[in-house]
Amino acid sequence: MPPSILVQRDYDDLSRAGADFVAEIVAARPDAAVLVATGETPMGVYAELARRQEAGTFDGSLLQVFQLDEYAGIPDHDRRTLYAWTLRAFADPLHIPHRRVVRLPGNGDIADGCAAYDRSVAAAGGIHLAILGIGINGHVGFNEPPSDRWTTTRAVRLAPETIRANARYWGQREPVARRGVTVGMMTLVSARRTLLMASGRSKRDIVRRAMRGPVSADVPASLLRDADDLTVLVDRSAWDGAA
């Protein structure tokens, strides 16, 4: 099925449309296994879902949450872990207990932790909904180019552009993590529904390449076009460069 590409006027409209999309899936399956990206792009969707949760017009409290990516080698309790961000932005506002948030390993035996994570995905019957952003180099999660369709959950070296982009989330004096852990493309491409979001002019070129260029490991987001049911939600500036 070709992706459906929904172009919204601006970030606020994108966030509302993203929340509508997620809410419809959750209404049909309240205990869905949802893979949840961090990064700036989906924050408006999560904030809108949190508002609806408080208003009683949406209930995400039964969801199972799967973390998308993580930094390697920073302490597990550090608030800069992407796990902590996933809790703050998604699980806690939706009253999802932490035991239903499946964490990626950032320390210890990472290969073993990745295998355990993949067993949890399998036990959930696979991912029902993957909520994803796209990096300016075409990465999804920390699947940096090149990452092929068969990559599994694993430790990775972060690309220089990713390290630069992440620097804004770190204290100025602290070195940004250079290694990470990511859910592999195999799991992402197998999700039953996929929501890929992009906002802002800086994403325009890579969104074009991912959607209109060749499906290639060099642009990992392009591999999502092989997913069962991909919806791409962009604002105008990320699609045609309009203000």
Q: What is the nearest approach in angstroms of ligand PGA to the Cβ of residue 36?
A: 12
Q: Is residue 143 a contact point for ligand PGA (CB under 6 A)?
A: no
Q: Which residues are catalytically annotated? A: 69, 137, 139, 144
Whole-angstrom distance, CA of residue 173 vs CA of residue 201: 29
CA 63 to the chain's CA centroid? 16
Whole-angstrom distance, CA of residue 60 vs CA of residue 35: 13
Which of the stretches 33-41, 47-55, 90-98, 182-190 binds ligand PGA when contact is defined by CB under 6 A? 33-41
Whose Cβ is closer to ligand PGA: residue 40's or residue 228's? Answer: 40
Site string for ligand PGA, 145-174 (x = CB under 6 A): --------------------x---------
How many of the chain's residues bind ligand PGA (CB under 6 A)?
A: 8
CA 86 to the chain's CA centroid? 10
Of residues 55-94, those binding ligand PGA (CB under 6 A): none
Whose Cβ is closer to ligand PGA: residue 39's or residue 184's? Answer: 39
Q: Is residue 205 a contact point for ligand PGA (CB under 6 A)?
A: no
Burial class (CB in 10 A: 0-12, 13-18, 19+), 216: middle
| 21, 58 contact by CB (below 8 A) | no
Q: Is residue 135 a contact point for ligand PGA (CB under 6 A)?
A: yes
Strands 179-182, 154-157: parallel, antiparallel or unpaired by DSSP?
Answer: antiparallel
Which of 117, 128, 142, 122 is closest to 191 using CA atoms? Answer: 128
Q: 92 in helix, strand or coil?
A: coil
Whole-angstrom distance, CA of residue 67 vs CA of residue 65: 7
Q: What is the nearest approach in angstroms of ligand PGA to the Cβ of residue 128?
A: 21
Q: What is the nearest approach in angstroms of ligand PGA to the Cβ of residue 171?
A: 17
Q: What is the nearest approach in angstroms of ligand PGA to the Cβ of residue 139?
A: 6
Q: Which residues bind ligand PGA (CB under 6 A)?
A: 39-41, 133-135, 139, 165
